[in-house]
């Protein structure tokens, strides 16, 4: 018997490696508009949260134009800068063989998130997909995960696991009343930041997750 009936995944930084693309998109945006060169350690804090939030905090009067510049660059460079993490296809295949329902819950807008999933054939494994537009309340609140559960007809979160690479993912899982797994082995977010949110599981490789389900 499986420990979990449903496993939901964040997308960027969890299933596919978009971090180099995200960092370059932010770097390009700040340089283009303000002639500021941002280093990676200054940009990591923006991973795993809705795109609008850092721009709102830094330049509230320029949010729309900054987001447009970011997205234009992100779309232009997307396919050449994105890769799938080693072990993810094997993990998803084995979960499907076990009869576990799978889904993606991301803060990313649907169009570009779906492009990344299509690039690596991920839709064939998924029973549900929740993007930014699908909820009005976002991570770290639990609504995105609860929305996925509702679409799958799951009312009780005791056998649901949400896997992610950022503190926002861990908090989202907790707020939705489901278990959480932090991908400490391949997240760009510092391990201490993930552990500070006390995830239920910490995994070093995608395949390691199989030992917990």
Active site residues: 10
Token pair belonging to 40 = 């990676």
In angstroms, what CA-CA distances link 193 with 48, 94, 153, 166, 182? 13, 30, 33, 8, 10
For tokens 């009343």, the residue is: 177
| Angle of CA points 35, 188, 102, to nearest 5° | 120
β-strand 83-84 against 16-17: which pairing, if any?
A: antiparallel
DSSP states of 125-137 as a string?
A: G-SEEE-GGG-SS
The residues pairing with 84 across neighbouring beta strands, listed in sequence order, are: 16
Token pair belonging to 178 = 């489901």
Token pair belonging to 171 = 């908090």
Backbone angles phi, psi at 164, to 5 degrees: -155, 175
Lay out the sheet containing 101-105: strands in order across. 128-130, 101-105, 6-9, 160-164, 179-182, 201-202
User: Closest Cα partner for 68 from 53, 52, 54, 44?
Assistant: 52
């Amino acid at each position: 018997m499986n420990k979990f009936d449903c496993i939901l995944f964040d997308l960027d930084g969890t299933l596919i490696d978009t971090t180099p693309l995200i960092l370059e998109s932010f770097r390009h945006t700040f340089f283009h508009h303000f002639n500021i060169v941002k280093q990676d350690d200054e940009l990591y804090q923006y991973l795993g949260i809705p795109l609008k939030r850092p721009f709102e905090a830094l330049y509230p009067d320029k949010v729309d134009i900054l987001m447009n510049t970011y997205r234009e660059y992100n779309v232009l460079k997307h396919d050449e800068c994105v890769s799938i993490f080693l072990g993810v296809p094997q993990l998803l295949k084995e979960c499907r063989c076990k009869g576990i329902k799978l889904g993606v819950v991301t803060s990313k807008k649907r169009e570009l998130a779906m492009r990344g999933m299509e690039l690596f054939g991920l839709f064939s494994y998924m029973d549900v997909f929740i993007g930014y537009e699908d909820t009005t309340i976002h991570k770290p609140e639990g609504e995105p995960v609860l929305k996925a559960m509702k679409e799958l007809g799951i009312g009780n979160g005791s056998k649901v696991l949400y896997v992610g690479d950022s503190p926002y993912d861990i908090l989202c899982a907790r707020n939705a009343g489901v278990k959480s797994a932090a991908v400490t082995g391949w997240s760009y977010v510092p391990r201490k930041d993930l552990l500070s949110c006390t995830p239920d599981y910490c995994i070093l490789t995608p395949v390691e997750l199989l030992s917990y389900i």
